Chain A
């Protein structure tokens, strides 16, 4: 399977804990995106990488959120001191130049 993969698929954590999600994009794609989707809503943009450079960050991305793509391949999204409001589906997508973004299956986070 050469699609976008995300790990883990589900994460349950207690409020105040840190969590980290991983995204592996389609191998030839140099652009990688993170989105957050809450129930009944469309995805909201969080951040965008072109190769290893983080070029765009949404105001939704508070100081508790950090994303990296150190070698321009996989990416990680870390949430520190999780809050109940962080409960959502975190989606990763990748694309080549301006082409269609291909989404991964998402990581569903539940903060208790």
Chain B
């Protein structure tokens, strides 16, 4: 079954601290993995995208890793800011028989950065 599981469900950290969010997936055939940030009441915004051959990708204070063998990914946030408070969704793309690239979304990790 094509699933994406994320942990923890929610997380509270102090401003300035680092944190790491986890993602495990069983999606096949794998195309790529993305991390999205979703503010409350808004649509998701892409942070990083990694293909099968990439094992790390950075975007400012966000660093994503991918282990395609164990089907695990992580998103590390460095020196957190209040504006980092949001849901972070792990999304894995799979190729459908029709050639359509379907996104399979995790349920997200809700991060709260406290002053």
Q: Which residues of A contact B (CB under 8 A)?
A: 4, 40-45, 48, 55-56, 91, 93, 98, 100-106, 108
Contacts of A105 in B (CB 8 A): 41-43
> Which of A44, A55, A100, A104 touches B34 (beta carbons < 8 Å)?
A100
> Which of B36, B103, B107 touches A40 (beta carbons < 8 Å)?
B107
Interface string of B10-50 (1 = CB under 8 A from A): 00000000000000000000000010100001111110010
Please, how many residues of chain B have a CB less than 8 angstroms from a CB on the other chain? Answer: 22
In the bound assembly, the distance between CA atoms of A55 and B99 in angstroms comes to 10
Known: A93-B43, A106-B42. A101 touches B103 (CB 8 A): yes
A-B contact pairs, 7 of them (CB 8 A): A4-B43, A42-B4, A42-B91, A43-B44, A43-B89, A48-B100, A91-B44
Contacts of A100 in B (CB 8 A): 34, 46, 49
In the bound assembly, the distance between CA atoms of A27 and B46 in angstroms comes to 19
